[in-house]
Structures are given as structure tokens and as C-alpha cells.
Structure 1
Amino acid sequence: MANSATLTLWRPTRMKPSAPRTAVVLYLGAMVLIHTIVFWNVRKQIQKGYSDFAIYYCAASIVRQGLGHQLYDESVQFMVQEEFAPEVPIRRGALPYTHPPIEALFFAPFSYLSYVQAFVLWDVLNIAMLVALPFLLRPYLPQLQSYSPLLWLLASLAFFPIFFALVQGQDAILLLFLYAMAFISIKKQRPVLAGALLALGLFKFHLVLPFVLLLLVQRRKRILYGFIPVAMALAVISAFIVGVKGLMSYPRYVLHLEEIMGRGAIVPADMPNLRGILHLLPLSESHKTPLPLIFSLALVVFAAWTCRIADHADSSHLKFSLAMIVTVLVSYHAMGYDLSMLMLPVFLTSDQLLNKDRIGGLPDVAVACGIAALFFSPLQLLLLMRYNRLALLGWLILVWMSAIARMICRMDAEAGSLSRRVQPARSLF
């Protein structure tokens, strides 16, 4: 079935236009059906409070009660979680809240509802953001404009990381939405607004800061005019929530949880990034900390070099995608649901492939196959739920990233052959 999905990534010359669309609808529908079955099987656990949404509801309740100075006190967290989720026997301690204080304030209104009501409302809002994406992005993706917004939504719901985020009640879809809005702002040549939107995503700072860095090395310094003021405002609000002392101790709290693996809540083997990839290799413990940092730095340098040497406007979508994928790979903490943000690179690279009459060369094939594989939910379910080795998916993402980088270089080389006669347009990215 994966092959049928791959066929839809370019316009076939011998098939009727409706044939590949029918195939992709059937394939995506099958993935959504699998997700529906999984959701039905875990619905009772969700009602009891097994999902990650418990950490947001807990943090929101603590802040609403005026106990912000105790937000990162695990005994207080556990006490509050026991109040709304007492039937979770596997939880012998708090499911730790590790996000910045500002996000607890964002979720505070949800704490006025019951836990189940708040969970449902949050998922409804997440689905609303997914519904909005095609209408926002279509003007900038000409090859995908002919596809119904319903197909876009079906594709989003068929993407396992997004389903995973919905089941867990995670905030990953919100980050995807902010990235999409930042992309649109850059296309409109409004970098200050793009920077402000990226700063709003600092509730997952590890999935934003590398991306901002990759913008800066491309001389996109105006991004900072929006990013820094908003980031500072969020820091000030956070200080009011937990106090200056609490804010200053926050990095130490997060690092401590990473050291003790969050008492079982942090599992590197399930992280589809460089850290997870290296964790599964037979390395000594002394090497498992420095090696991810070294390889992450090398990957950022590689991405920066690739994006900077290519100044062709047609590669702007690919460079944006490359920066997002590299951000996920170098993030020290990235779980399966965090891959939701890769839905935007899926849209961008698919639009690029659809612009071709046929697949041309190994990079195009690798990108198309990478997209198809990311939509094969049974693989991710097996790696996550049976083998606890979702980090293996990181290899696929690494290959996908490499293929996109090769496409960028090839497009730049092709554009270079015309540069003697025509000056290339400046990239919007």
C-alpha cells in the first residue's frame, strides 16, 4: 500500500488524473481507520488520565490556584494529578511538567473544566488548526491548490505523529500551526512577524532555537526584531508566574530530569532524533552525552552551508523544510508526537515534487519514498508500542533530510547554468 501513496507525489502521464487521487484517498483512509481503532482501544485510559495532557492540566491547575511558585515541585504536581487522575496505577510519581511557565498560564482556562472536558476541548482546537492549514497554505503551494482541503485534512489525520499528538493531548500541533504561520509571513516578506510567531513557539524551545539559528546564518537578521521582544515578554510573564528564583532554577530542573530520565517518562530509545539514533548504538555511557552534541553541531553546520550556498528562489520551500527537519534531528528531546511539525515539510516537498512531470534522479525518489514511509502507521506503531524503538525512525528522517539537501544543491547547480545570462531571483527564505 505504501507504493500507491508514493504514486501521488507526482503527476503521472499515463494514468487518468482521478486514479492517483483515488489511490491516495484509499491509502490515507486506511491509515485513519487504523488510528481510529487504536483510539477506540485506549479511550478508557484517556478518560482516566493516562495521556500526557495530564501534565498541562496539572500545571494549569497549580497556576490557577495561585501556587505558581510551586509549579516545579514534583510532590505538588503528584498531589494535583492524583486529584483528577487517581486511577493510574502505573504512575507512582508525578508525570513531570517540564515546559516553561508561560504554557501553564496558557492552559489555565482549561482547568475550569473537568479533565475529560478539557481534553476534548483541546483536541477540538487542535483539529480546528489542522482544518485551517490548507486554507492558509494553499496560496503558496500552487501544485497542491487543485486538491480539496478535505484531502489535506485527511492527510493530516493519517500522519501518525499528528494522531499520536491528539491521543496524548500534546501541544505539538500548535507548534506546527505556528511554523506554518511563520512560513506564510516569510513568503509575504514580513520577517518581524515571522520572528514573533516563532517566539510564541518557545514552549518547545528546543524545537525552535535551532531553526532560528539557521535563519540567522542566512542573513535573516530581521527575524530577531520580532523574536527577541516576544521572547523577553514571555520571560517576564513567566517570572511573574513562578518568581525570579523559580525561573532561574528552571534550566537546572529540566537538566536534572534529563539526567534521571524523568523517572521513566523520558525514553531516548523512543526519540526519532540524533540522540535516539546514537542511544541505540552499542556505545559506552560516557559517549552517549557528547556524541549527540557533536553530531548535532555538524548537522547544523551542514544545513547552514547547504541553505547559504543555494540562493535560488525556487528552492525556498526545500530550504525551509530542510531547516525544520534538521531542527527535529538536533533537538535533544523529541518524541514521536513532536514529528507533527514535519507535516509542513511534507506539504512543501510534495508541492515541489508535483511540479515535476516525473521523478528525476535518486534524490527525488528518496524524498518521495521518505514521505510515503512516514505515512505508514503500522511501522511506527510497531516501533513504538511493541519494540520501544521509535528512535529507528530517525534513520528514515536523516535519509529524507539528506535527499532534500541534495535536491537543493541540484536546483542551485541548474540555476547556476543560467546565471551567466539572467540574474537569479533572491530566495524568500
Structure 2
Amino acid sequence: MLTNLRRMEIFFAILIMAYVFMAWKASNRISQGNSDFIIYYTAAQMIKEDQGQSLYDLALQKQFQQKILSAIHFQEELLPYNHPPFELIWFRPLARFPYLTAFLLWDTFSFICFGLGLMVLIKGSGPHNGEGAVFVILGSLAFLPLFVTLLQGQDSAMVFLFLVLTFINLKKLRDARAGLCLSLVLQKFQILIPILFLLLAKKRWKVLGGFLAGGGVTLLISLNMVGINGLKRYLLLVIEMATWVNHYGIYPSTMHCLRGQIYAFWFESHPNLAMGITIATVVSMLGLLFKVWKGKWDVHEPTYDLKFALLILISLLVSPHVNFHDLSLLLLPAVLIFQFLLREPNVSSQTRLTSIALFLVCFPLLLSTLIVSNLVPIQLSVWGLLALTGLVMHQLKVFEIVRK
């Protein structure tokens, strides 16, 4: 097994070097501002210019964005900032720098978030002898969505770190602190619904209390940034976004979630059917999640890590909005699954090798989903998520049988 891991580590190292080369080739595109980072930089400039109350005025956003990148023409001439106001607390300091400098500083911060999250996760979930740590680090750095997050200047690295800190604090019985960390994930609130429902069903009141306290702080920060009128505009924008299809960078059929796959199949010809199937499928997945978590909440239970991995997997699947870079959050369940397989003596060597092979399979799968989805209405990434969900549920069932 160790020999196989070493071979995979060499493969990962080669892949990382290929990513560095690709980033160098894309440097001109980045320097021109042709990346998602433009939405954060535009919004940060608006806050800097005391335009907080008009932050969600798309016409004004367009003016600021064109001023920053007058030579760049995005599709529909605007890539809008549609995130919560408080998230700009991370980007506001970057508004004083030129665009490229701000982008590089943000990427450095994101890389630190990924690295810190991985180190904390490896230490908190793996074998005490550190077995497999190099494999996990190299495999994570070679994970395509992580590279895309950095290439686009997106915010997924922070969300990954906050979810890791939530998990670690739950494991250490620091429930209130876990809730505070979870509240920072509100910048991607669409993935929080299954997590919050589960915490409510399991009566984890301290976690929910910490979440509400942290949420209150983010609300105060948002009010300070954009005022009541700005918050009203944001809520109206969120409601309006639910109706956007192939508009302002929102393409539901390309999302890497259940909604994306179902919309790719049926939305153009039968939109109501697509919405109905999406709702039914989401409810079914949530039902499976609650069934797996049935029983006592025990962070010391050997399968707790697998259950948490399943929680993140299903949260991504049922989310209505998952871009490719958001799949970098899969690093959390992937590391938990891998560490569990190394740590638990009841897991067969065949199961270990099969699961480790997923680390190799996921690379061509995630790359090919970007190609295949342009040819046929199939999101391979979604089917990969479903397969991994099934594998985790099967392993939980097998582990329970072995224990009995």
C-alpha cells in the first residue's frame, strides 16, 4: 500500500507542476482582470468610495467595473457582486492596491487558508504517526477545483477553512466556538441549509447559539457597510437571482449539483418538471442524510468523521448553486474518508485501495466534466459526487455490521 501511495505522490507532484505552468500561461489573462476576482474588487472599490448603500445597484456596479477594466468586455458587460455585504470585510483592505497586486495578495491569502485548513484537518483526524500526510497534502494541492479557485481569485478557500474549524471544534466539544466558525460560512449560505437542519434535529443548542451569535455579528457588519437600504436591495437581489437563467453569469444547467444535472436534462423543454424533480430529489437526499445520523450524537464514535463527510457531500449536492471552484470544499470529506480508512483497523486493505483510487479517478473525472457537459447534458462531477455518497453510506453500513 505504501508503494502505491508513493507512486500516486509522484503523479500528484507532476500534476502540480503542470498547474504552475498553466497559471504562468494564464498570467496575461489574469493581469487583464478576466477572472471572478473582479466582482470582489469592484465591490471593495464601491465600499471605499462610500457607495455602500448602492452596493447592489447593478447599474452602478457596471459603472465601477467598466472604470476598473475599461478594456475588458464581459458577457452582458457585467459580472455582478451578489454575495452578502459582510464578506467584503476580507476584500476592503485590497481596494487600496492596483488590481493585479490585489489579486496576488488575495491568492496568497487563499493559499494560506487552504494550507492551514489541511494541516489542522490532518492533525485532528488522522493517525497519530502522521501516516499518509504527504499523500493528502500533495493530493489536495493537485485537486483541480483548488487550482481553479486560485486561478479565478474566488473565496472558496476561506469557506473550506471555516468548515474545517467547525468540524475540529465539534470534535473537541467546543460547540459554541464551532457555531461561531459555522456562521462565517454564511458567505455561501446556500450550502448551510442541510447542516442547520441537522443541528436543529439533533438539538445541538450550543452550536446553534454560537451560529446565531456569529450571524448577529455579520448582520451588524453588513449594516455598517451598506445600511438598511443596502440590505433590502441585497434581499431583493437574492430573490431576483432565483429567477436568473443564463443571465449575469448564472447558468443553472452547468452547476455541479443535483439541480444542475436535472436542469441540464429537462429545464429547456420542461421547466416545471425540472423544478419538481429537483425538489423531490433534494428531499430524498435529506431523508437519507437524517437516516444515517439517526441515534446519539457522539463525536467519539469511530464513524462520526464519515458521517460528517457525508453531511458535506449531501450539502453540496442539494445546494442550488455550486460552481466548479466550490468543489474545492470536497477536500474536507475526501481527507476525512482517507484518514478514516488509514486509522480504522476494521477496514479491509481492498477497501482502502479502492477508496484511494478515487483520488486518481477524481482528477480526470473533474477535468472531463468541463468537456463532456459542453457536448451532452451530463455533469460527470455530479455523478461522481453521488457515487462517493453511495460509497460512504455503504462503508458506514459495513462498519456497523463489523462492530456488531
Rounded Cα–Cα distance in structure 2 between residues aligned with 1:221 and 1:294? 29
Read off the aligned partner of 2:206 and give its amino acid letter.
Answer: R
**Paired residue for 1:240?**
224
**Residue 420 of structure 1 corresponds to which residue in structure 2?**
none
- Please provide the CA RMSD for this pair: 2.4
Is 1:296 aligned to residue 282 of structure 2? yes
Q: CA offset at residue 232 of structure 1?
A: 1.7
Corresponding residue number in structure 1 for 2:166 = 182
Matching residue's letter, 2:205: K
Query: How far apart, in 2, do the equivalents of 1:169 and 1:144 lie?
Result: 35
1:380-416 deviation per Cα after TM superposition (whole angstroms, max 9, x unaligned)? 334325744683310110110121122223323333x
Tell me whether 1:21 sits opposite 2:5 in the alignment.
yes
- 2:243 equivalent to 1:259: yes
Match for residue 194 of structure 1 among 154, 166, 178: 178
Shifted more, 286-295 versus 221-230: the winner is 286-295
2:56 alignment counterpart: 72
> Any conservation in 1 of the 2:146–2:328 contact (CA below 8 Å)?
yes
1:337 to 308, 318, 325: 325
In structure 2, the CA distance between the partners of 1:40 and 1:102, relative to structure 1 (3 Å rule), is same
Please list, as runs of the form range in 1=range in 2, the aligned pairs for 1:197-236 lying within 5 A after superposition: 197-236=181-220
1:383 aligns with 2:373: no
Query: How many corresponding residue pairs?
Result: 398
- 8 Å CA contact 2:372–2:378 kept in 1: the answer is no
Deviation sequence 1:7-40 (CA, Å, 0-9, x none): xxxxx3xxxx4x2232021111232133223323
Q: Which residue type is aligned with residue 328 of structure 2?
A: S
Q: Deviations over 1:279-331 (max 9, x none)?
A: 12245111222322221122112101111247670001001100011110011
Query: Is residue 183–residue 214 contact of structure 2 (8 Å, CA) maintained in 1?
Result: yes
- Report if aligned partners of 2:266, 2:274 keep a CA contact under 8 Å in 1: no
Structure 2 SS opposite 1:95: coil
The match for 1:399 is: 387
Matches within 5 A, 1:7-406: 12=1, 17=2, 19-143=3-127, 145-147=129-131, 151-261=135-245, 263-282=247-266, 284-309=270-295, 313-355=301-343, 360=348, 367-374=355-362, 376=363, 378-384=364-370, 387-388=373-374, 391-406=379-394
Structure 2 length-normalised TM: 0.91
Deviation for aligned residue 1:157: 1.5
- Give yes or no for contact 1:55–1:95 (8 Å, CA) kept in 2: yes
Q: Secondary structure of 1:308's partner?
A: coil
Give deviations 1:95-116, integer Å, cap 9, x for gaps.
Answer: 0111001112331111111111
3-state SS, counterpart of residue 314 of structure 1:
coil
Partner secondary structure for residue 205 of structure 2: coil
> Structure 1 residues 282 and 369, CA, compared in 2 at 3 Å: closer, same or farther?
farther
CA distance in 1, matches of 2:59, 2:47: 15
The TM-score normalised by the length of structure 1 is: 0.86
- Does 1:413 pair with 2:401? yes
Question: 2:386 & 2:368 partners in 1: Cα distance?
Answer: 20
Instruction: Determine if contact 2:127/2:339 at 8 Å carries over to the other structure.
Output: yes
Superposed displacement of residue 59, structure 1:
0.7
Cα contact 1:144–1:351 (8 A) shared by 2: no
